[in-house]
Structure 1
């Protein structure tokens, strides 16, 4: 496997995440490997031509994502997302083959690696993994999100690396995720496995509904969110998955980068409009499953998951 972290000579796009120690819950990684049989979507990028723009071939939308062989978690190839300095447009979108609705479930799993020296923006979260909801036949009713905190410190996010957000909730409910910033933060230059699960309902399981959000890093349960809804209306539908599709700039000055390793901030002209620098990340072994053909693995708490 190649190890160079120098960006390709091509424009914009984003992705990734990592960590040192298992986070919240202490749940052990599942055993067994999912080969993708019957999955809604599975791509390991091995059959692609290096350098090809796969934004609208492997995926359905996005911004300049390329088949690459300079990094891979398994095999020799991956998908590379290149971000421009100051660029906000990034990432990929994958449409579902059929709509999901109330009571349905989705699992999204991928390996991700950020280049060494990766920077987030300060005072704003970073959109990592998202599932889109909408009124039937209309455009948008909000996303169910997994964010990296970046340098965000409000709403109790000063001591964690991740949070979940449900836009379909009236107040965009935010829930901190993980055990600590140090334990769960990404480690640029390393491959790790990330998975999110969502069950769709207007109320969380703790409030009489069935809605749930779970996330795992390297097969270890990071967080389970039980008290917020994941759709605004029982008649709404779920149509697609987004991975790193917008690099949020801070909403106001100061415009600064945030280093996840040192937790230091620095003035950044790029942060005013998007990525604080030109930088790349890679994904591999991306899989989507739904309750139509769910995973067969479980973690040690009995939760179904695709796993590592």
Structure 2
């Protein structure tokens, strides 16, 4: 099988194109560029203006990517202006209806991080979507503001979830995880992974669409009724990590990201529920009382063919 490996300048960034089917992956470990500098933008990758390479907190290697946002900023000004908060990773090929994508990264949230917005949800993992004629927003995984009560149509009651899923093309909030078990932990590296199969109706309703979310290798959401496209031309185009802060940040904030991996090829690892996932090393085990336990799992070494 013909394979081509392209190594880009800057933070270690690889793309694999595998024939005869166009398979790809994107990997970024925040290594290979000058400590303290902003990572270089390359084709398909754009870093927020306030992003720097840091050794203050590191998951693996010598550096991580530090995202920052200033008090009073939206992160990506609605009146116009450059992206400040987070990063954008365009997929090497759009993920169309019936196709799949997996993504995973490590995240360090420092103590005192203010999870607050004027919507009750902080934009976090955002999969950009569109149809032939227009953008359809993002398939979002958002952090729930701890003090905010959100209406769950599925549960028919207000809840205070640690995370929320919502497709901006057809908004309907779906609760992800439970408190305190799946709360965002501070002062420790955590791993987040998302899988999406694109479709106009959910797998539970006889369609194709499904979204899964893992936190520290534990499946915290299996959304078999989550739609991800508004018509058959729907597709996902890239990952928007953070990027916009509704209502502006109340104070200066920062977070660290490391070991990003995105692929459209089915991973070889299988979770305890029988689902294919990237998996790999993690440092925190989800526990009922929210105590921190350090664990490890084998790193992913191959992709299923």
Structure-2-length-normalised TM-score: 0.75
Which secondary structure state, in structure 1, belongs to the residue aligned with residue 211 of structure 2?
strand
1:46 matched residue in structure 2: 31
Determine the C-alpha separation between the residues in 2 that align with 1:102 and 1:176: 24
Question: Whole-Å Cα distance in 2 between the matches of residues 144 and 173 of structure 1?
Answer: 11
Q: Does 1:275 align with 2:272?
A: no
2:287 aligned with 1:307: no
Alpha-carbon distance in structure 2 between the residues aligned to 1:237 and 1:176: 23
Please show how residues 150-165 of structure 1 align to structure 2 within 5 Å.
150=145, 151-156=147-152, 158-165=159-166
| CA shift in 2, pair 1:47/1:61, >3 Å | closer
- On the 8 A contact 2:71/2:249 being kept in 1, the answer is yes
How well do the aligned residues superpose, as a CA RMSD in angstroms?
A: 2.0
The 1:191–1:37 alpha-carbon spacing in structure 2 relative to 1, beyond 3 Å, is: farther
Q: Structure 1 stretches of 5 or more lacking a match?
A: 1-34, 250-273
**Post-superposition shift, 1:194?**
0.4
The superposition leaves residues 47-90 of structure 1 with CA deviations (integer Å, 9 ceiling, x where unpaired) of 22112212624823533211111111112210000110111111
In the alignment, structure 2 segments of 5+ residues that lack a partner are 1-13, 18-23, 76-84, 153-157, 281-305
- Which structure exhibits the higher relative contact order, with contacts defined as CA atoms closer than 8 Å and separated by 6 or more residues? 1
Residues 1:126 and 2:122 aligned together: yes
Residue 197 of structure 1 corresponds to which residue in structure 2? Answer: 195
Q: Aligned partners of 1:93 and 1:236: how far apart in 2?
A: 19
Instruction: Give the corresponding residue for 1:295.
Output: 267
| Separation in structure 2 between the aligned mates of residue 222 and residue 154 of structure 1, nearest angstrom | 18
Provide Cα deviations, 1:160-207, integer angstroms capped at 9, x if missing partner. 2111111222xx0111011x2211111121100001111000000111
The secondary structure found in structure 2 opposite 1:121 is coil
Whether 2:187 is the aligned partner of 1:212: answer no
CA contact (8 A) 1:54 1:64 kept: no
